[in-house]
């Protein structure tokens, strides 16, 4: 079957892209053809379908300019995206459209084109944009549900979008417009939620249960050989406020016998380096951005992996990667992480943002290498079963069939 994947980026920018590329490769290995639709960018992977991609817009800093007006228009409804997507559908003649992240850079204007042609449409929800202007549900260091259930204009006074009233107004207008015309829910047959937490949260915001189907993410195990035991604790991820890396560093300062490696970069990097220095946490080592073999080696050398998030993680792909490498977790009991970790079997929970509890849980694992190994083996078994690629493929195909695809 030919499947169109719509996602705003066609290069490896974040977790949504990583999942989309991995799923596309999996589908291709089973004989399906995946056709991309995205926004043009010099970092895009090569594809013969690039001529159908929409023109680029800058969404980080919207200003009162021609470019700013173009971006604001794209947020609401893109006639360009609608036209180009229609052209791609007519040329590719797919059997199904699978939508990932399309807000802002593409817009849901493309979705009625799929339904006009009688195509089934499924969407994987990678964040909370379907229910709130603040798609991370995180603001000023805390969980933010100020707009629940559909009070989108509260984002203006609350300044929960980039700390700006203007940004809040744009997002509120966008969501009000899309919701009024049913651009998402009227044109999507099924919404895939990677965690049960997200499934329940979407329902609490009013999305009909009939539209939702839970499908956990997957992790590759064939190319990731487990190594049980290690010589340091490991964090892998973006250095940004919602990831709670400051909590991990403060905890590390209390257990200085435990080396902690931090892999990644992001807007908080300098602040976190300064924090570690001010706390004299010499056991914390910043390793920078890593990928490929270097990242694999970093996982292999870890005794455990820490996921100290303080927001509603949808799943926590790092947690699944840790399992694949045979590593137990110390993780915040929040969002999708609360169902990814089996407390006492594949890792230990720590209270969200609680530095003392984090220090205690880190010490408990560090001081018990055999428990770490046992938990790592249990995590690896989980990766090979519940989160196995073959199981994910079967689940995805079942969703496609349920949506109406003829497979």
Compute the average pLDDT of residues 100-123: 98
Q: Is the pLDDT at 66 greater than 60, yes or no?
A: no
Kindly state the DSSP code that residue 57 receives in the 8-state scheme. -
Q: Is residue 66 part of a domain?
A: yes
Place of tokens 């997002």: 171
Structural domains in the chain (count) = 2
The answer on 364 and 344 residing in a single domain is yes
The predicted structure's pLDDT at residue 59: 74
- Between 73 and 356, name the one with better pLDDT: 356
Task: Work out the mean pLDDT of the chain and round it to a whole number.
Answer: 96
The vertex-108 CA angle with 185 and 9, nearest 5°, equals: 125
Q: How confident is the model at residue 25 (pLDDT cuts 50, 70, 90)?
A: very high
- Between 64 and 278, name the one with better pLDDT: 278
What CA–CA distance (Å, rounded) separates 158 from 189?
A: 33
The predicted structure's pLDDT at residue 199: 98
The predicted structure's pLDDT at residue 197: 98
Q: Is the pLDDT at 251 greater than 70, yes or no?
A: yes
Number of H helices, E strands in the chain: 15, 14
The answer on 307 and 189 residing in a single domain is no
Q: Which of 331, 315, 295, 328 is nearest to 223 (CA)?
A: 295
Q: How confident is the model at residue 65 (pLDDT cuts 50, 70, 90)?
A: very low
The answer on 237 and 199 residing in a single domain is no
Q: Is the pLDDT at 347 greater than 50, yes or no?
A: yes
The answer on 284 and 201 residing in a single domain is no
The answer on 198 and 284 residing in a single domain is no
Inter-residue contact 244 to 309 (CB < 8 Å):
yes
Which pTM value belongs to this model?
A: 0.95
Q: Name the residue range of residue 253's domain.
A: 233-384
The answer on 284 and 354 residing in a single domain is yes
Compute the average pLDDT of residues 15-33: 97
The model's pLDDT over 164-190, given as tens digits with 9 standing for 90+, comes to 999 999 999 999 999 999 999 999 999
């Amino acid at each position: 079957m030919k499947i169109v994947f719509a996602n705003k980026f066609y290069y490896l920018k974040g977790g949504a892209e990583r999942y989309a590329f991995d799923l596309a490769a999996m589908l291709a290995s089973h004989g399906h053809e995946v056709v991309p639709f995205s926004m043009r960018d010099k970092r895009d992977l090569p594809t013969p379908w690039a001529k159908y991609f929409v023109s680029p817009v800058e969404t980080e800093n919207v200003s009162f300019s021609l470019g700013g007006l173009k971006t604001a228009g794209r947020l609401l409804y893109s006639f360009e995206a609608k036209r180009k997507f229609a052209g791609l559908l007519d040329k590719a003649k797919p059997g199904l459209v699978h939508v990932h992240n399309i807000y802002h850079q593409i817009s849901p204007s493309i979705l009625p084109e799929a339904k006009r042609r009688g195509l089934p449409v499924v969407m994987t929800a990678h964040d909370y944009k379907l229910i709130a202007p603040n798609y991370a549900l995180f603001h000023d260091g805390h969980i933010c549900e100020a707009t629940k259930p559909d009070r989108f204009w509260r984002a203006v006074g609350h300044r929960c979008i980039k700390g700006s009233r203007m940004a809040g107004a744009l997002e509120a207008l966008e969501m009000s417009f899309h919701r009024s015309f049913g651009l998402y829910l009227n044109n999507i047959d099924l919404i895939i939620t990677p965690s049960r937490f997200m499934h329940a949260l979407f329902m609490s915001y009013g999305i009909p249960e009939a539209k939702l189907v839970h499908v956990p993410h997957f992790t590759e195990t064939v190319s990731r050989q487990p190594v049980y035991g290690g010589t340091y604790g490991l964090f892998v991820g973006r250095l940004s406020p919602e990831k709670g890396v400051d909590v991990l560093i403060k905890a590390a300062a209390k257990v200085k016998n435990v080396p902690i490696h931090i892999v990644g970069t992001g807007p908080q990097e300098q602040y976190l380096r300064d924090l570690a220095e001010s706390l004299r946490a010499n056991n914390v080592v910043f390793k920078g951005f890593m990928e490929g073999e270097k990242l694999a080696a970093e996982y292999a050398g870890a005794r455990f992996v820490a996921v100290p998030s303080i927001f509603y993680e949808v799943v926590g792909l790092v947690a699944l990667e840790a399992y694949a490498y045979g590593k137990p977790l110390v993780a915040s009991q929040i969002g999708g992480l609360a169902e990814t970790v089996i407390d006492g079997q594949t890792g230990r929970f720590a209270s969200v943002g609680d530095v003392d509890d984090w220090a205690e849980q880190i010490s408990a694992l560090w001081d018990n290498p055999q428990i770490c190994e046992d938990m790592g083996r249990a995590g690896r078994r989980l990766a090979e079963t519940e989160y196995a690629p073959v199981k994910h493929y079967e689940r995805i195909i079942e969703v496609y069939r349920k949506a109406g695809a003829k497979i």
